[in-house]
Each structure stands twice: as C-alpha cells, then as structure tokens.
Amino acid sequence: MKIVATYNIKGGVGKTAAAVNLAYRAAEEGYRTLLWDLDPQGAATFCFRIRPRVKGGAQALVGRERDLGDLVKGSDYDNLDLIPADFSYRDLDVAFHGANKPAKQLIRLLRPLDEAYDLLLLDSAPSISLVSENLFRAADALLVPVVPTTLSVRTFRQLQEHLQGGKNARCALIPFFSMVDRRRRLHRELVEALRREPAGWLATEIPFAAQVEVMAVHRAPLGAFAPRAAAALAFKALWNELRDRLSLAV
C-alpha cells in the first residue's frame, strides 16, 4: 500500500479537493483506494455523504479500543472506501502525546490495512503538529497543493526547510500548483519562477474553478457529476502523474 498525505501547513489551498478527486480517480482505475479524513472539519467525509462520526473518537483509536479496519465505510463508488472524520480529531495531538512512541502512532494504526489497499490518501488538517510528524513518518509522499501567492509560497518554504532538518522523515515532497488563476499576472509569474527550482513540481496545475466548490453542493467527486469539466480533467492528469511518481504498478 502506498500512502500519500495531502498536506499543507496553510489552510484553504485545495487539500481536500485533491484528496477526494485523486481518490476517486485512483479507484476508477481499479486501485483499491482508502481515504482517511483526518481533518476534524470533515469536508472530505461530507463530500461522500458519510456521517462524520467515529465511535469512541480519537481516544478509542489511540487507546487500542478500536481497530481502524472497523471504521471503514464503503463509498458509493467502486474500489473506494473512506474512514470518516470525527470532531474529536481536533484532539488527536493530545491523544498521540499520551501514547507510547507518539510520532509513530499513525504507522501503528495503518499497519493492519497494508494488504487490503493499493493506495491510502490521508487528508489532514492544516497545521504543523504532532499529527504532521506522524504523517511525515507514515507517508510515502506528501502531496502539497501550493497556491501561487506569496503567503502560500512562504509556508511551502517553511515546510521544505522543516523536512530538510527533520531526522525521521522518509517521505517524498511532491508539490503541485493549486487554484491557479491564469488571468492573474502574479499567479503566472510565481508559477514560472517556482518551476525553475528543482523541487519536483508536478506539471499539472489545478485551475481555480467554481466546479470545485460545487462539489460540496453535489456531495460527490467531480468525476461523478462533471467528468468533462476542466477541473475534473486536471485532477485526472494530476493522478496520472502522481501514479507514475509513486510507481504504482499499471
């Protein structure tokens, strides 16, 4: 099982849209896909019409009272399962802190699922915390949506520096441009400037599109209700690139 976390220190950059649509696309190609919504806001869970509730909450999970596999819910799509969010995930940090080997809790929790899925997408809350440290250790890749604005780029730099300094991070950093508005000069210029850096940017850009916001109205991934929309096609292309980067067997 390959583990990919959509992650950014900053919020509102398109993490959930990426997680939901990439998971949909991977499943559509036949990969056994699991999406774990770690964000207490539960936006990804909402998009799949699943109730954001985990019995016993974060504490039961960390306290080994519940097996992660028991929390899995089948989505309405082939090959795509989800572990819903729970509002108690806001305290996941605290729960991890109290456990033995706090930074390896996620690895421990995910181990039993290794054979059951080809791909696990973790949609995490924006922050840099013990949960993020867990992500860095558990994930094969951090998929980082970067909006081409000065502030967003600044947090990306912070992440790069943090990971370079970290001892235990084994994950690859895979950034891509998100919510790009080609009509804005700043967006165009920043994209162009950043692409010159050897940061491993994916070639696909996700455009700023109303369709992505409509996802929350339809409560479905783009591919399910607007497969020909520009954003849907962009996520499809993004998945193709990501799949090759992860070297998932085709």
Where do contacts with another protein occur on this chain (CB under 8 A)? 28-32, 48-51, 71-74, 76, 78-79, 81, 118, 219, 248-250
DSSP-derived letter for residue 78 is T
Between CA 60 and CA 1 the distance in angstroms is 24
Measured from the CB atom, the residue of 61 and 206 that comes closer to another protein is 61
Measured from the CB atom, the residue of 32 and 90 that comes closer to another protein is 32
What is the longest distance spanned by two Cα atoms in the chain?
Answer: 53
Measured from the CB atom, the residue of 162 and 219 that comes closer to another protein is 219
- Look up tokens 């084994």; give the residue: 170
Nearest to 191, CA basis, from 154, 240, 147, 161: 147
Measured from the CB atom, the residue of 71 and 174 that comes closer to another protein is 71
CB of 240 to another protein, least distance (A): 12
Measured from the CB atom, the residue of 29 and 91 that comes closer to another protein is 29
- Indicate the residue type of 53: R
CB of 169 to another protein, least distance (A): 26
| β-pairing verdict for 141-146 and 119-123 | unpaired
CB of 49 to another protein, least distance (A): 4
**Tally of CB atoms within 10 A around 85:** 25
- Look up tokens 């950034």; give the residue: 175
CB of 110 to another protein, least distance (A): 17
3-state class (DSSP) for residue 146: strand
CB of 225 to another protein, least distance (A): 13
User: Do 142 and 246 touch, CB atoms closer than 8 A?
Assistant: no
Nearest to 143, CA basis, from 202, 90, 190, 93: 202
CB of 165 to another protein, least distance (A): 31
Measured from the CB atom, the residue of 76 and 114 that comes closer to another protein is 76
